[in-house]
Amino acid sequence: MSISVFNLTKSFDRTTVVDHLSLEIADGEFVVLLGPSGCGKTTTLRMIAGLEQATSGDILIAGTRVNDLPPQRRDVAMVFQSYALYPHMTVADNIGYPLRVRRLAADQIQKQVRETSTLLEIDTLLQRKPRELSGGERQRVALARAIVRHPRAFLMDEPLSNLDAKLRLQMRGELKHLQQRLQTTTVYVTHDQAEAMTLGHRVAVMNKGKLQQFDTPLEIYSRPANRFVAEFVGSPSMNFLEGSVDVSNRIFENQQVSLALNDSQPASFSNFDTNKPVTLGIRPEDIRVSLSHRDGWHQTRVYVVELMGSETLVILQLGAAKLTARTAADFRAEPDCPVWIEFDTTKAHFFDSETGLRH
């Protein structure tokens, strides 16, 4: 079932929290709404569900405008961050509740509860109460309650944020496997870019109520539409240097560096104005670090080293800027130690320093 929103806007008094948002989500697609707290992603989800009334714009589910339909008539299932389980009911009763509301026969409810609980591997927990379950088990029960009535779409509001890191990683994989198996259209809200990149077929990056970019995770990482997307997506974050581009000589330069740009650089040189400031962005994995002098490399100093086990992150002090470089796990250097760095300019990104838009 497809979901479309056109020029969707939500205002509270004079504050606009969702600003003319347009998205088209295909049948069976897993779309993630990603952004910082307060960007409007949860409000968007609640408008699709019918829990919030849109100030203006259209919401279409399977091609039908549903703005005026109550939540129960939209045939979507919502999974909340807080699980929202009934504490006095058993797991079986919690899962079967949506079916009882629809007055299905008792044997049919029992059959569907058994099938759904088996799918989520919680069939041995059916007689327990929520207080007897772990966080991961409660989340599975909440998912089972959403799945059991076979809705046309799932709407998930940060469902994994209350879990510890290990369990969150496990549930992330299971959620993706489940969606691939059920092929149900899913809209998933998170502020965690790792969740967004691993779960979504496409990701809608939002900031201050506005859509910044809507594309595949790989395209968003490789070709961010603006500086906000570049900085928000990726861990560690992209590095930025302010400077200018000498178009005739094909050089990016500032007080600390002078970087030669070649024809394999993805930005078109016709987009640059030599007299206008430009922001260069480069990922940590595209900065090489050497403890010994290298011809043509730039000398700088180590600010701090972070040992991550599988890799080492080196924070570098380059003039007033701090840059993060991703290095091998066995890389070691003391603070204030001189090092030499090289930028892979074929992987560099350029943004207009005033508007933040990609060149």
Ramachandran assignment for 75, one of left (phi > 0), alpha (psi -120 to 50 degrees), beta (any other): left
pTM for the whole thing? 0.89
Q: C-alpha distances in angstroms, 5 versus 2, 38, 182, 282? A: 10, 19, 23, 34
Same domain, 212 and 308: no
Side chain identity at residue 148, one-letter code: V
Give the range of the structural domain holding residue 140, as residue numbers without chain letter: 3-232
Tokens of 320: 């007033």
How big is the chain, counted in residues? 359
Q: 10 Å Cβ neighbour count for 297? A: 16
Tokens of 129: 């109460």
Same domain, 188 and 54: yes
CA 315 to CA 332: how far, in whole Å?
12
Residue 148 covered by a domain: yes
Could you tell me which of 206, 186, 264 has the C-alpha nearest to residue 36? 206
Domain boundary among 232, 252, 273: 232
Residue 88 covered by a domain: yes
Residue 188 covered by a domain: yes
Same domain, 144 and 51: yes
Same domain, 170 and 97: yes
Per-residue pLDDT of the chain (359 residues; tens, 9 = 90+): 899 999 999 999 889 999 999 999 999 999 999 999 999 999 999 999 999 999 999 999 999 999 999 998 999 998 888 778 999 999 999 999 999 988 899 999 999 999 999 988 899 999 999 999 988 889 889 889 988 988 989 999 998 887 788 878 888 888 888 888 889 999 999 999 999 999 999 999 999 999 999 999 999 999 999 999 999 999 999 999 999 988 888 889 999 999 988 765 655 666 777 778 999 999 999 999 999 999 999 999 999 999 999 999 999 999 889 999 999 999 999 999 999 999 999 999 999 999 999 98
Same domain, 220 and 291: no
Same domain, 57 and 204: yes
Could you tell me which of 199, 191, 132, 135 has the C-alpha nearest to residue 166? 135
